[in-house]
């Protein structure tokens, strides 16, 4: 934890946007960043980056996370005449972390403090009183940049345990002729999601994965990235770089930097299209649901090229 504490202190954004701030690095998404994002739309092609929500999702029960349960609560119900108005209604019951998701800034912490010094006791069985997902309610609407590290490495997908370092991010920028700038959302493709989507191997997808190493936190901080997402369940590499310190990247990014993490983003078709036309930036519309006190949100992010 000492390395986490030291790096956390070095990269801390506490107080940067005021003592009451709950949005963290989303503050980098200024109106001019949004205008630049809309200017990156050229063809109008749209890509859905969300996994379907259903019983056939990726969850294996880890940490009490189950796949969404979908029920019909009205089936061919009707008013009036038998050949008149009819309707169907339904209910979805799901862990907010079940599939494609953003983590709120109340999701993880250490030393009893959440982002911006908020006491961890503000999260109760009623949810997060501070740093909850509603604080992201203007959503993530910004320029997205996809860096394809599997492509960089010349493989279909990176193996579990592969540590993505700042050098990989910069090499991908050079190879793709794109640069991550202040206020961008960075999407990192590992290809690992195909372990689930193509091979239906949930255990293989969820238990170990390639991902960002802790060094990348400094790079994301320097580039003023607003949000970072990958196609894996944890964003960061598992097995952890130091087995004694689980999820260090989560701790520094979320708790110290106020940087939200996006998980299980489906990037396959988007990456193919970017490869085809050489355009690796786009408008990313990835709004959070306004779940009161939520510490995460499911979503269907859209990339518009
Ligand atoms: C944890 O595993 C705690 O978080 P995440 O779903 O963000 O990886």
Evaluate if residue 139 carries a pLDDT over 90. Answer: no
How many independent structural domains does the chain possess? 1
pLDDT computed for residue 111 by the predictor? 98
Interval 28-43: pLDDT, tens: 999 999 999 999 999 9
Evaluate if residue 80 carries a pLDDT over 90. Answer: no
> Rounded distance, CA 226 to CA 17, Å?
13
> Rounded distance, CA 65 to CA 279, Å?
36
**Which of 104, 263, 298 to mutate for ligand 1's pocket (most ligand atoms within 8 Å of CB)?**
263
> Which residues neighbour 147 within 8 Å (Cβ) at sequence distance 6 or greater?
169, 172, 173, 176, 178, 180, 186, 187, 188, 189, 280
Kindly indicate the confidence band of residue 50, based on its pLDDT and cuts at 50, 70 and 90.
very high
Q: Is the CB of 97 under 6 A from ligand 1?
A: yes
Averaged pLDDT, 136-148: 94
- Any domain includes 263: yes
pTM, to two decimals: 0.97
Cis peptide before 239 (omega within 30 of 0): yes
DSSP reduced 3-state for 234: coil
Evaluate if residue 131 carries a pLDDT over 80. Answer: yes
Evaluate if residue 263 carries a pLDDT over 90. Answer: yes
pLDDT above 70 covers a percentage of the chain that reads: 100
Token pair belonging to 70: 């979908």
CATH, residue 258: 3.50.30.50
How far does the centroid of ligand 1 lie from the alpha carbon of residue 234, in Å?
A: 6
Averaged pLDDT, 86-111: 98
Evaluate if residue 85 carries a pLDDT over 90. Answer: yes
- Any domain includes 215: yes
The b/e string for 2-25 (b: 16+ C-beta within 10 A; e otherwise) is eebeebbeebbbbeebeeebbbbb
Evaluate if residue 161 carries a pLDDT over 80. Answer: yes
> Rounded distance, CA 110 to CA 253, Å?
12
- Any domain includes 150: yes
DSSP reduced 3-state for 273: helix
- Any domain includes 85: no
3-state secondary structure 5-62: HHHHHHCCCCECCECCCCCHHHHHCCHHHHHHHHHCCCCCCEEECCCCCCCCCCCCCH
Interval 184-234: pLDDT, tens: 999 999 999 999 999 999 999 999 999 999 999 999 999 999 999 999 999
Average pLDDT, the chain: 97
Averaged pLDDT, 263-268: 98
Q: Is the CB of 236 under 6 A from ligand 1?
A: no
Structural domain that includes position 7 = 2-65+95-304
- Any domain includes 120: yes
How many other CB atoms sit within 10 Å of the CB of residue 189?
27
The helix or strand, by DSSP H or E, that contains position 220, with its residue range, turns out to be helix 216-222
- Any domain includes 185: yes
- Any domain includes 73: no
Compute the residue count for the chain. Answer: 305
Q: Is the CB of 118 under 6 A from ligand 1?
A: no
> Rounded distance, CA 296 to CA 138, Å?
15
Averaged pLDDT, 137-165: 97
- Any domain includes 11: yes
pLDDT computed for residue 297 by the predictor? 98
Evaluate if residue 142 carries a pLDDT over 90. Answer: yes
> Rounded distance, CA 98 to CA 100, Å?
7
DSSP reduced 3-state for 204: helix
**Which of 208, 234, 252 to mutate for ligand 1's pocket (most ligand atoms within 8 Å of CB)?**
234
> Rounded distance, CA 205 to CA 192, Å?
7
Kindly indicate the confidence band of residue 92, based on its pLDDT and cuts at 50, 70 and 90.
very high
């Amino acid at each position: 934890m000492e390395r986490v504490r030291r790096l956390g202190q070095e990269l801390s954004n506490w107080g940067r946007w005021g003592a009451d701030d709950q949005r963290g690095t989303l503050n980098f998404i200024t109106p001019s960043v949004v205008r630049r994002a809309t200017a990156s739309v050229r063809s109008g092609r749209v890509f859905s980056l969300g996994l379907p929500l259903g019983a056939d999702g990726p969850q294996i029960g880890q940490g009490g996370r189950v796949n969404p349960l979908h029920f019909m609560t009205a089936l061919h119900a009707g008013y009036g005449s038998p050949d008149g108005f009819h309707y169907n209604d339904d209910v979805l019951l799901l862990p907010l972390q079940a599939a494609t998701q953003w983590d709120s800034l109340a999701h993880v912490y250490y030393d009893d403090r959440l982002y911006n010094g908020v006491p961890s006791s503000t999260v109760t069985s009623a949810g997060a009183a501070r740093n909850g997902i509603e604080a992201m309610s203007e959503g993530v609407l910004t320029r997205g940049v996809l860096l394809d590290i599997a492509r960089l490495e010349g493989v279909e997908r990176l193996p579990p345990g592969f540590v993505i370092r700042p050098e990989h991010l910069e090499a991908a920028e050079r190879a793709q002729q794109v640069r991550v700038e202040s206020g961008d959302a960075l999407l990192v493709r590992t290809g690992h999601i195909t372990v689930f989507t193509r091979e239906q191997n949930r255990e293989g997808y969820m238990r170990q994965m390639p991902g960002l190493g802790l060094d990348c936190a400094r790079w994301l901080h320097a580039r003023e990235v607003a949000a970072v997402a990958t196609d894996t369940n944890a964003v960061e590499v598992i097995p952890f770089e130091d087995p004694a310190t689980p999820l260090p990247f989560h701790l520094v990014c979320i708790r110290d930097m106020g940087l939200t993490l996006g998980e299980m983003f489906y990037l396959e078709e988007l990456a193919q299209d970017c490869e085809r036309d050489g355009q690796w930036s786009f408008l990313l519309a990835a709004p959070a649901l306004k779940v009161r006190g939520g510490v995460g949100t499911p979503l269907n992010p859209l990339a518009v090229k």
